[in-house]
Amino acid sequence: MNKEKQECDTAQLCETCAEAGTCSEKEKQAHEERRLKDRLYHIRHKIMVMSGKGGVGKSTVAVNLATALALDGFRVGILDADIHGPNIPKMLGLELYQLMGTGDGIRPVEFYPNVKVVSIALLSGDSDAPVVWRGPLKHAMIKQFLADVEWGDLDYLIVDLPPGTGDEALSVAHLIENVDGSVVVTTPQEVALLDSRKAVGFSRLLKIKVLGIVENMSGMTCPHCGKEINLFKVGGGETAARNLMVPFLGRIPIDPEVVTMCDQGTPLVLSKPDSAAAKVFFGLSQAVSREMERGEKEKAEQSPVRGGGS
Ligand code: ADP
């Protein structure tokens, strides 16, 4: 049979397929595209966590959001799309683990409870060596993380993007095609807010629903006198959300426990679920899942084949 006309029915990677030598580059590309679509089909909701600036707590929010969703019974994956500064494995205590290759792709590392994790930091090698890659290489890596990872059936894929609106954010948005929403993390001071507006603008440009803004490092309670200290001011994220007409998803206080738990590799929602900061993370996960449910219901209602009616 003419190979051009023959459908590839192997679920294998082209690299490990015995037939690969007989396929043209165009066919291989088509197989890759199909693998990507197949993998994404099994993931109900894809959420990007973004920030305009680095160091505002984006990865902290991503791991706590993912873990809170998992504690609510959802099957969750975290894709660490921060190729140059991948922190997710450290924040989940997974630095000693590695991604494993199988005939069908890459097996993600599992974090309790029910969270699958993929990050460039989980590839073997020198963790101190900088990744010096240009856009196309990063795009290829992110594509592989989406198409070749055995994500299985997931309710949520949380994508932790690097700060800003550069190559990785564009790659994720283009490869996934139908990202369900973005969560923008900011700190309350003006410079961070300015950049977070760009993250909101980026989402809108790519027609990705902005689920809302989280204001992190928003005030702290002095451990000695109990007085409130507004180190980076307070309320700026909420004002930005109002001005930009997107939901405000909560204010996370500065809490030294967040740093300790990040460094120890345990998300706060697991280690201190009753803390004020953890409660905001739980509220965030509930807001996200509520919004996703609402969206699904809306889609079902708009579907022409609903309820067996006319
Ligand atoms: P980003 O992903 O935006 O670069 P990270 O999530 O890596 O930021 O956070 C940067 C640092 O700030 C980490 O050490 C983290 O533990 C700390 N951090 C984040 N949020 C808080 C908070 N609410 N209170 C105290 N420290 C925090």
The pLDDT value recorded for residue 7 is 66
What is the rounded average pLDDT of the residues 150-167?
93
The model carries a pTM of: 0.90
Most confident of 90-104, 182-196, 203-217: 203-217
**Is a pLDDT exceeding 90 seen at residue 189?**
no
- Model pLDDT, residue 1: 42
Closest C-alpha to ligand 1, atom 12: 57
Angle between helices 276-302 and 58-71 (to 10 degrees): 70
Percent with pLDDT over 70 in the chain:
88
State residue 192's pLDDT score: 64
Residue type, position 177, single letter: E
Tell me, in angstroms, the distance from the centre of ligand 1 to residue 256's CA.
Answer: 10
Question: In this structure, are residues 66 and 78 in contact, taking their beta carbons and an 8 Å threshold?
Answer: yes
Query: Under CATH, to which class is 42-293 assigned?
Result: alpha beta
User: For residues 151 and 116, is the Cβ–Cβ distance under 8 A?
Assistant: yes
**Which tens digit of pLDDT belongs to each residue from 228-259?**
777 767 677 888 899 999 999 999 999 999 98
* pLDDT score recorded for residue 310: 43
- Say what the alpha-carbon torsion angle 290, 262, 172, 239 is, to the nearest 10 degrees: 60
Ligand 1 centre and the CA of 168: distance in Å? 20
Using the predicted structure, report yes or no on whether residue 308 has a pLDDT greater than 60.
Answer: no
**Residues 160-169, mean pLDDT to the nearest whole number:** 90
Instruction: Tell me what the pLDDT averaged over the chain comes to.
Output: 87
Closest C-alpha residue for ligand 1 atom 16: 259
Nearest one of 105, 98, 94, 160 to 125, comparing CA atoms: 98
Which ligand 1 atom is the nearest neighbour of the CA of 85? 4
**Per-residue pLDDT tens digits for 67-113:** 999 999 999 999 999 988 899 999 999 999 999 988 778 999 999 88
pLDDT tens column, 111-137: 988 999 999 999 866 666 666 666 677
Q: What kind and span of H or E run contains 177?
A: none
Instruction: Find the range with the poorest average confidence among 9-13, 147-151, 293-297.
Output: 9-13
pLDDT of the residue at 4: 47
